[in-house]
Amino acid sequence: MTAAGDPAGGALVGLIQASLNGIARLEAGARRVDPETIFDLIAGFDGADAEVAEALALSRATDWPERLGPVRACVEASAEAAAQGLAALARAGEAPDPLRAAGRAFRAAPRASEAIYPLAPFVTLVSDAFLTPAARTDEALRARIAATPPGREGTGTMHLGGPPGTRGGAAVYIPEYLAEDEPAPLVVALHGGSGNGRDFLWTWLRDARSRGCILIAPTAAGDTWALGEPAIDGAHIAATIDAMAQRRAIHPTRRLLTGMSDGGTFTYTYGLGAGCGFSHLAPVAAAFNRFIMGFADAERLAGLPIRIVHGAQDWMFPVETAEAAARALAAAGARVDFEPIEDLAHAYPREANARILDWFLAG
């Protein structure tokens, strides 16, 4: 798609780039959320919606050919979500609870991603935005993606158990280029309190697509995960995996359970239990106390690979919590890796996904 002598083409390219820039800015901002610096973060978003808003206005003023109607709908929906999120962030300081208002505004990023991702098979700019930097230079992967027919049945994003975000349901991503009989590593990623799988899927999709992993992002049956009764949500998770295994080949010994905040805590309470089928655990920004060890099965803990990721500036669950978890789990026989992130508060560090996958896929 080029802009030369083509007003609609020019508007489209500009709007795609503006939307992707907006998504990237929202994602980067979400990582920096911290009560101590929230007003500085908000101030940095003053006028941040201008690029997307201008590109959106140009698109709406352009006479589009009918054949590009579906493309226009995707990109304008993405741009609208990004612009609304950026504008809401700039106003978050006026809210009674700026931290909560900022959190709501950042939810625009997954919605904007969800709207524009269907163009990935057709637009290189979009496809590259949903690959990791390392994957963008992997010529073999790029060739495999390019050779995959658009809309390949049973791949891409989908939702199980009801409409997107349904309690007890799950959002799923299967890399479009995977062969049906190719056993793929599985990543099950659990959202934080009050979150949902529909949104949290996008925290991991870029990495799953780049590394050929099947990704499942369940939604808790209740307002958050049943931390004290892991069998409740555990049954939904197991049923989702069983349903996926009927459709796709899942690697039998490469199955990662990870999660953020309450999702990380549930990674402990469910993942440490007897009969849990995950080969690796990677809790992020999770709570931990002596009661959690009551859910652990001694035989399962022996040699179990666990990677703990935690922000050194975490204000909700101080980093000492993670340090205590690492000591207790190692003493119980688990193979523990601990990654403190110096500049991180209670937020999700997307850059840690690649390191988690390196560890997971290496064994």
Q: For residue 3, what pLDDT is reported?
A: 45
Same domain, 179 and 32: no
Same domain, 307 and 206: yes
Domain end call among 112, 143, 166: 112
Alpha helices in the chain (DSSP H): 7-31, 38-43, 50-61, 69-91, 98-106, 108-116, 124-129, 133-136, 139-146, 197-211, 230-247, 262-271, 298-301, 319-331, 352-362
178 belongs to a structural domain: yes
Same domain, 102 and 177: no
Q: How many domains are there within the chain?
A: 2
Same domain, 338 and 220: yes
Query: Does the predicted model carry a pTM greater than 0.85?
Result: yes
127 belongs to a structural domain: no
What is the residue range of 67's domain? 7-112
Q: For residue 6, what pLDDT is reported?
A: 83
15 belongs to a structural domain: yes
Q: Please report, for the domain that includes residue 245, its CATH number.
A: 3.40.50.1820
Q: What span, in angstroms and rounded, lies between the C-alpha atoms of 247 and 269?
A: 28
* pLDDT < 70 stretches in the chain: 1-5
Q: What are phi and psi of 193, to 5 degrees?
A: -55, 135
Same domain, 102 and 30: yes
Q: For residue 5, what pLDDT is reported?
A: 62
Q: For residue 52, what pLDDT is reported?
A: 98
Same domain, 232 and 167: yes
Same domain, 80 and 213: no
Domain end call among 112, 132, 162: 112
Q: For residue 129, what pLDDT is reported?
A: 98
Domain end call among 87, 112, 137: 112
144 belongs to a structural domain: no
